Structure 1
Amino acid sequence: FDLRDPAAALAAVDGAEAVIHLAANVGGIGFNRANPAPLVYDNLMMTANIFESCRDAGVAKLVSACTVCAYPKHTDAPFSEDDLWKGYPEESNAPYGLAKKMMLVLSDAYRRQYGFDSCAPILANLYGPRDNFDLESSHVIPAMIRRFVEAVDGGDETVTLWGTGNPSREFLYVDDAARGLLLAGERLHVSEPVNLGVGVETRIRDLAETIARITGFEGTIAWDTTRPDGQPKRYLDVSRARELIGFEARVALEDGLARTIAAFREQTATLA
């Protein structure tokens, strides 16, 4: 389904009792910088069409996955939901983040106008098996995993990564994210923002060293400081999700990375 088309969106949700909206045009820093207009247009159109189609089709509950990229660039970490509307997002993330932020506006508007029950939890950076490992459009974890695995397999002595390695991020394993979205569907009946994450920051440099160790890479990690870092700090205050829906992340980062690396190796072996 091309959800930018209203008829396709209606066909996609027809007959559903509940809908979890995960569709997105999304990528990493380089992809975001190269594609600002499609990121705004595609994500706005998909979300607007999904809301209207769910209402038309009589869907009882819509859960839309909002993003940590919606937060202002200059926000004290951990990010609190109360600070969501207090500034403009980091520039490379703004087109995507603002388009996704409209999920919260639509949720509130459709609740007040039509009594339509929806919510839009704000997700931390996700990772896990079956992620996008395309170096042109992937996020930081799958990009690093691919670089380190290929370096090990190719006998390379150096892996070069973007930026300084100093920014920090928060990473939520895909199984935890799925469980959180299901809990939101069952228990969250408000349109206010609610963060879904682990509430722990990880420095990019430390992430790289962990992935290198798990993959068995023993060479040098070089940092290309001519490349952008993105937002300096990005991790979430997750207390509201704990209180409202009883959500706690279960998968520790190192365990999740090991699972993701194993899945990527299996995937590439199958394709070889």
Structure 2
Amino acid sequence: MEKQSNIYVAGHRGLVGSAILSKLHTDGYTNLLTRTSSELDLRMQEEVNDFFEKERPEVIFLAAAKVGGILANTMYPGDFLYDNLMIQSNVIDAARRYGVKKLLFLGSTCIYPKFAPQPLKESYLLTGDLEPTNEPYALAKIAGIKLCTAYNNQYGTNFMSVMPTNLYGPNDNFDLETSHVLPSLMRKIHEAKVQDEPTITILGTGSPLRDFLHVDDLAAACVYLMERYAAEEIGEFVNIGTGNEITIKALAEKLCEVIGYEGQLVFDSTKPDGTPRKLTDVSKLTSLGWSYGISFEEGLQDTYAWYIQNEVKK
């Protein structure tokens, strides 16, 4: 990946894509391609083909996806499966046909079985049943990994896949219906503080364990891998995370500290928890020479400051 390479960041306005775009700018990459979803619908093969024919990207960061938390996945399972299958299949296949030199496909650690041994090693893929609340999204991401691997084997392409843990940071989605747990809790706790509410109800028991990674660290890892490694050197895919974990209850308590909310947290155990534990094994990533740099406390402060400036004040 050269500084003058024609680099396409798919999904550049989302949490992950925006962080990757910013990292590339900071690192001196000057020829960056972007398109909004209204300009280019990646679910439409003809539109994707036209874009590749005209722009001829050499390197691709495939961060475009339909994403959401447990509620959104439960409400729209068909959309999560179809949209993600179409987005990734169209881009990966066009990359193969138009001779893209290198592609990075971003998935998620939700690809692992619900009751996989902990921490989650790359070898645990397809060793058990998936978590039902995000199965459609997970199936799509598994298909994306396998498509990259199949094309590498059949056509000699250089398409690598990375599986980030739970992400957070600037440009996250704070919609209470479709967001993931951390931004959803941040918004709920902030609004409870502003409205002086004595209690907050949190869905689930608060017991699930999660590994949270700041999106700027993810962007740094993605650029690091693309600059230094070929797909065959990292294997089928590599996890990206911190290797640390925290319960949802402890996360909520930390957010209360950051936000300054002093009310009571009430957990609704009648609502689903999702996967009980999801700790990422990052030994493979560490062996490739990368580890995270942003502490959880620093990351939460940074994200809350962004939320106040961009969501509350807009």
Q: TM-score normalised to the size of structure 2?
A: 0.84
The 3-state SS of whatever aligns with 2:133 is coil
Equivalent in the alignment of 2:47: 8
Q: Deviations over 1:5-26 (max 9, x none)?
A: 1122234443211000011111
Q: 1:38 to 1:239 in 2, by over 3 A?
A: same
8 Å contact 1:121–1:184 — kept in the other structure?
no
Task: Tell me, yes or no, if structure 1 residue 239 matches structure 2 residue 283.
Answer: yes
The 3-state SS of whatever aligns with 1:20 is strand
Instruction: Identify the match of residue 17 of structure 1 among 53, 58, 66.
Output: 58
The 3-state SS of whatever aligns with 1:248 is coil
| 1:1-272 matches, cutoff 5 A | 1-13=40-52, 14-186=55-227, 187-190=229-232, 191-244=235-288, 246-271=289-314
The 3-state SS of whatever aligns with 2:299 is helix
Q: Deviations over 1:121-168 (max 9, x none)?
A: 111011001100000100001000001111111111111111000010
Instruction: Spell out structure 1 runs of 4+ moving beyond 6 A.
Output: none
Listed as ranges, the gaps of 5+ residues in structure 2 are 1-39
Q: Deviations over 1:37-80 (max 9, x none)?
A: 11111111111111111112221101000111100111111101
Listed as ranges, the gaps of 5+ residues in structure 1 are none
Amino acid at match of 2:231: H
Amino acid at match of 2:267: W
The 3-state SS of whatever aligns with 1:121 is strand
8 Å contact 2:49–2:94 — kept in the other structure?
yes
8 Å contact 1:195–1:241 — kept in the other structure?
yes
Q: Deviations over 1:197-252 (max 9, x none)?
A: 001111111000000011000010111111110000001100101113x1201111
Q: 1:199 to 1:44 in 2, by over 3 A?
A: same
What is the alpha-carbon root mean square deviation over aligned residues?
Answer: 1.2
Amino acid at match of 1:189: A
Amino acid at match of 1:4: R
8 Å contact 1:16–1:59 — kept in the other structure?
yes
Q: Is the deviation greater in 62-71 or in 79-88?
A: 79-88
